Amino acid sequence: MIRVAIADDQQLIRGGFRALLSAEQGIEVIGEAGTGAEAVALVRAEHPDVILMDIRMPDGDGLWATEQITADPGLAATRIVIVTTFELDEYVGRAIRAGASGFLVKDTEPVELIRAVRVVAGGDALLSPGVTRRLLERVSNDLTDAPDTRALDVLTVREREVLALVGAGLTNDEIATRLFLSPLTSKTHVSRIMTKLGARDRVQLVITAYRTGLVAPGR
């Protein structure tokens, strides 16, 4: 059972998300919050698997709440999906730096919201397609002519191959097919790479792949 919390300052939005998610098998909504402070308190009390977090809320916005949650080692198992009407680069960047595992806009189709909850609860990271594209463009633009490859020293040759494919946007199943691995082996490689690099989620692996030169800008 995936336990989900909802944080949004609009009761109508919270009610809509609750109704949508509660109708899905294997998903349970365990609480709601209307402010950033309430969101942090809810996560500390209930330890949900996933929290859907609005950005613009009173008493500490969603980005502040995300930072509070991800900074607490005792809440490391809770994954955060930022859900907002604002698909702006500045929010995406802050959300990722704060440790969010996903970023969706509120006009996302219901099936995509449900998919986001399942994907993030399963340990992957998720961003809406437009956000992902702009994120990668921003990372590419920030690169210097001399990529810093030191982070790769802890990885095996195979793990570098896997990281490059993660950076290229491939899923675990696609990586398995490309490298003639089983899906489980592919997933294991990705998990080990995250551990070695201290990455919270797949988004951080993508950024590392670009910054170390494993994936070239424009690829």
Q: How far is CA 89 from CA 43, 124, 134, 138, in A?
A: 26, 21, 7, 9
Asked if residue 107 has pLDDT above 60, the reply is yes
Chain mean pLDDT for the chain: 85
Paired residues of 7 in beta bridges? 33, 53
Question: Which CATH superfamily does the domain covering 2-136 fall into?
Answer: Response regulator (3.40.50.2300)
Most confident option among 27-41, 61-75, 142-156, 187-201: 27-41
Contact 135, 203 (CB under 8 A): yes
DSSP string, 64-108: HHHHHHHT-GGGTT-EEEEEES---HHHHHHHHHHT-SEEEETTS
The whole-angstrom separation of Cα 96 and Cα 103 is: 9
Domains 2-136 and 144-211 share a fold: no
CB atoms within 10 A of CB 46: 13
Report the predicted TM-score, pTM, of the whole model to 2 decimal places: 0.73
What are 55-98's pLDDT values in tens digits? Answer: 989 999 999 999 999 989 899 889 999 888 776 667 777 777 77
Three-class SS state of 111: helix
- pLDDT for 85: 79
Comparing 37-51, 97-111, 120-134, which segment has the lowest mean pLDDT?
A: 120-134
Asked if residue 7 has pLDDT above 90, the reply is yes
Q: Give domain 144-211's CATH architecture.
A: Orthogonal Bundle (1.10)
Residue 164 sits at the vertex; the CA angle it makes with 160 and 170, to the nearest 5 degrees, is: 130
Amino acid at 94: R
Asked if residue 47 has pLDDT above 70, the reply is yes
**Domain extent listing, the chain:** 2-136, 144-211
What is the average pLDDT across 186-215? 86
Asked if residue 152 has pLDDT above 60, the reply is yes
Asked if residue 133 has pLDDT above 70, the reply is no
CB atoms within 10 A of CB 159: 17
Asked if residue 131 has pLDDT above 70, the reply is no
What are 155-177's pLDDT values in tens digits? Answer: 999 999 999 998 887 888 889 99
What is the average pLDDT across 186-196? 93
